[in-house]
Amino acid sequence: MERMTLEVRHLFVRFRTEKGVITPVNDVSLQVPEGSIVGIVGESACGKSMTARAVMGLVRAPGEVTGGEIILCGRDIASLPEKARRQLRGSEISMIFQEPMTSLNPVMKVGKQVAEAVLLHSRCTWREARERTLAAFRDVEIPEPEARFDCYPHQLSGGLRQRVMIAMATVCKPRLLIADEPTTALDVTVEAQILKLLEKLRDASTSVLLISHNLGVIARVCDRVYVMYAGQIVEQAETEVLFKRPLHPYTQGLFWSVSSLREGCETLKTIPGVVPNLRHLPEGCSFSLRCDRCVAACEKEAPGLVEIEPGHAVRCLLATR
């Protein structure tokens, strides 16, 4: 059996607000095997980022993780106290964000920010921290690392800043890196370079959980994909299987909404409507309102996640019939 870097079981995140309780992460289970890149894909506001934050232990009030296990390398970290969680962050599990422009402190030299991560998690001198930072800069292919060390963030380009972010997140060689839309704000050539870096990380024994709404990105680097909708996983499969034979109407809709240059494509097909307000989810299947194949049963009964073939599960009544 494969060893898992991360295993999330039945994770719930709830927000108690004045207008009622919403559940942006609703019974999510996922696995990231060692040495792999696993993708989570879905529209905006479907719970991808919230899942990531819950794994990091960074859900802010009024939200809270109300149930589930988060198992990192065989250890349940969901129940650990805040201080222990904090020590894991950066050393065992780390994260990079979408906005490389604002993810670095504007008044701190970038080298210092990366070295801060080293100093936090290992007993070493400033000199050693600097050496390790420069090594990390070299790993993420930052040209002239010594010169960049003393730069302020505004002196670097977006691509370089994202590299610095990755260096900061991986300088302590974490077991798992969560990449939350790491390439959304970058242009395609830089995107390709960043994706290469993620693959390099995977080969250096850091597993990656890649969150994206870009199917092209997912297809290129992921070994396995989870499709999320309205806080739930609606389909999961190996990347190849999912791209060949998507079963959930939502997944199919996502594929249709991608324009392809090769096929002489006609009108771009889109999924009607938007992700429903989590406060007013439909009674049956949460996708029923936007699904063009919705039948009467869909509006009554919420489907469960059913395994159709080994490793390929889907949350849809039609697919399981």
Partner 1 sequence: MPWNRRKRIERASDLRLESQIGEEERFGDLMRRMARENRTAMASFVIIVLMALAAILAPLLTPYAETDMDLLNRLAPPSAAHLLGTDEGGRDVLTRLLFGARVSLLIGVVPALLSLILGALMGVIAGYRGGMADAIIMRVADITLAFPSMLLAMVIMYSLGGGIVNVFLTLTLVNWANVARVVRSETLRIRSGAFVEAARVIGVSRDRIMRRHILPNCLPTLLVLFTLNIPTSILTESSLSFLGLGIQPPNASWGLMINTGRQYLYNAPWLCFAPGAAIMLIVLAFNFLGNGLLDVLDPRQKKQ
Kindly list the residues in this chain that would bind partner 1 in the complex (CB under 8 A): 56, 58, 61, 86-91, 94-95, 97, 99, 102-108, 113, 116-117, 120-121, 152, 154-155, 165, 168-169, 172
Q: Return all residues near 29 (Cβ < 8 A) that are at least 6 apart.
A: 8, 9, 10, 11, 68, 233
Relative to beta strand 93-96, strand 176-180 is parallel
Q: Among residues 27 and 116, whose Cβ is nearest to partner 1?
A: 116
Residue with Cβ nearer partner 1 (97 or 287): 97
| Sign of the four-CA dihedral 180, 284, 317, 10 | positive
CB-CB contact of 226 with 233 (8 Å)? yes
H-type alpha helices, the chain: 48-56, 82-88, 110-121, 126-139, 145-149, 158-170, 188-203, 215-221, 239-244, 249-256, 317-320
Confirm if 305 and 315 have CB atoms less than 8 A apart: yes
Residues in a beta bridge with 214: none
Closer CB to partner 1, 79 or 102, in the complex: 102
CA distance 111 to 105: 11
CB nearer to partner 1: pick between 87 and 205: 87
Q: Residue 103 Cβ, how far from partner 1 at the closest point, in Å?
A: 4
Which of 215, 152, 213 lies closest to 180, judged by CA? 213
CB of 229 to partner 1, least distance (A): 25
CB of 179 to partner 1, least distance (A): 12
If the CB atoms of residues 25 and 230 are measured against partner 1, the closer one turns out to be 25
Least distance (Å) from partner 1 to the CB of residue 132? 13
Output the smallest distance, CB 168 to partner 1, in A: 6
